[in-house]
Structure 1
Amino acid sequence: MGRPSRKDEILQAALACFSEQGVDATTIEMIRDRSGASIGSLYHHFGNKERIIGALYLEGVGQYARLVEDGFSGADSAEACIRLLVACYIDWVVANPEWARFILHSRGRVEASEMGERLREANRLHHGRIDEVLRPHREAGAFRKMPRECFVSIVIGPAQDFSRHWLAGRTRTHLADCRELFMDAAWEAVRARQVRLVSMP
């Protein structure tokens, strides 16, 4: 793996500052000092703090999207696809707890910012790719019928909710230890129920 770019260094410095000081209390000067970048370099790459916040958010959700994208190539069944969505989410959160905490608390701010349209486009592309991969399984009747808008929330929602509690230190159980449980629960929640016909005497 190559050396991080100056842009990546600034984002990681910003994440450290946001985690230690809070997003609102962090200044451009703090990020500059932490990253070792010049003010000129920082403004060249981002322009202002709100764009740093947006870029950090987009990079984090983009990493999850890339994990899913890479994993889809080996997911050969409807169940494997659903389990992959949950596994990638949990794995990314466990590997990046500070980043995940930032994302969970910053969505509204980014959506309302000048980066909001980029976030909506990234989400549209990501969910479009998920729909594309799941479409053959859906058409084959692998999933129970439900509004399309509910599907991803039902799959990821329980793991995301527990992640919030884990990241806040409100659980005794480690998130990674629940990985299989949430994968099982997601599949059970969306899989089609096969009804066995019984002949009456």
Structure 2
Amino acid sequence: MARPSRKNEILQAALACFTEFGVDATTIEMIRDRSGASIGSLYHHFGNKERIIAALYLAGTGEYAELLEQGFSTANSAEACVKLLVTSYIDWVAANPDWARFILHSRGRVEASERGDELREANRLHFQRIFEALSGYREQGLFKVMPADCFASVIIGPTHDFARNWLAGRTQTELADCRQLLAQVAWESVRANP
């Protein structure tokens, strides 16, 4: 197995520090100590803490987008694509709860940072890819008519809300145990009435 890159080691150390101490209380020195990287290496890869925050955020959302893209390559129906949006999200959050918590609480900070435009562009491309994957099914009339900018929220909204509560420890049910239920709810919310 390949050794993780120094950049990835720094990001994972930052995530561990953010989880343990909070984003604001974490210092560059704490990240350096946890990662074992030299201060030169840390500054070479990122420059400052805000850039580490943005890089960690973009890496996490990029992982989810990759998981979704892999799923789209095998999903062969409108129902499979809609359910994939939910199950991929649940799978990623359940496998990466600390990272998911960080992402949920850091979006505004990243949007306001020097990498905000990069985040907006990544989100635009992500949603464009989703709409491309579903456009043929939409043209066939397999989905309820609704504004395009509402469509993704209708699909992922309940899952996102439950995941937030699960990440905060406010649920008795495990997120993964709701995987099929939430996927079915999403499908029933957007499919055209027979």
Q: TM-score range by the shorter chain?
A: over 0.9
State the shift of 1:41 in Å.
0.3
> For 2:92 and 2:114, how far apart are their aligned partners in 1?
26
> For 2:144 and 2:37, how far apart are their aligned partners in 1?
52
For residue 66 of structure 2, give the secondary structure of its aligned residue in structure 1. helix
Q: What does residue 26 of structure 2 align with? A: 26
Partner AA of 1:172 in structure 2: Q
After superposition, residues 84-163 of structure 1 pair within 5 angstroms as 84-163=84-163
Q: Give structure 2 stretches of 5+ with no counterpart.
A: none
State the shift of 1:11 in Å.
0.2
- Does residue 180 (structure 1) correspond to residue 180 (structure 2)? The answer is yes
Partner AA of 1:149 in structure 2: D
Q: What does residue 50 of structure 1 align with? A: 50
> For 1:59 and 1:38, how far apart are their aligned partners in 2?
22
State the shift of 1:93 in Å.
0.3
> For 2:133 and 2:82, how far apart are their aligned partners in 1?
11
State the shift of 1:3 in Å.
1.1
Partner AA of 1:153 in structure 2: S
For residue 24 of structure 2, give the secondary structure of its aligned residue in structure 1. coil
State the shift of 1:89 in Å.
0.1
Work out the number of aligned pairs and report it.
Answer: 194
Partner AA of 1:104 in structure 2: L
> For 1:11 and 1:154, how far apart are their aligned partners in 2?
32
Give 1 or 2 for the bigger CA radius of gyration. 1
> For 2:185 and 2:116, how far apart are their aligned partners in 1?
32
State the shift of 1:115 in Å.
1.1
State the shift of 1:127 in Å.
0.8
For residue 146 of structure 2, give the secondary structure of its aligned residue in structure 1. coil
Q: What does residue 79 of structure 1 align with? A: 79
Q: Give structure 1 stretches of 5+ with no counterpart.
A: 195-201
Q: What does residue 167 of structure 1 align with? A: 167
> For 1:2 and 1:135, how far apart are their aligned partners in 2?
38
TM-score by length of 1: 0.95
Summarize deviations over 1:127-158 as a string: whole Å, max 9, x none.
11111111100000010000000111111111
For residue 134 of structure 2, give the secondary structure of its aligned residue in structure 1. helix
Q: What does residue 64 of structure 1 align with? A: 64
The share of aligned pairs that are identical, in percent, is: 73
Q: CA RMSD in A?
A: 0.6
State the shift of 1:125 in Å.
0.8
Partner AA of 1:99 in structure 2: W
Partner AA of 2:35 in structure 1: S
Q: What does residue 17 of structure 1 align with? A: 17
Partner AA of 2:56 in structure 1: L
> For 1:43 and 1:154, how far apart are their aligned partners in 2?
41
For residue 143 of structure 2, give the secondary structure of its aligned residue in structure 1. coil
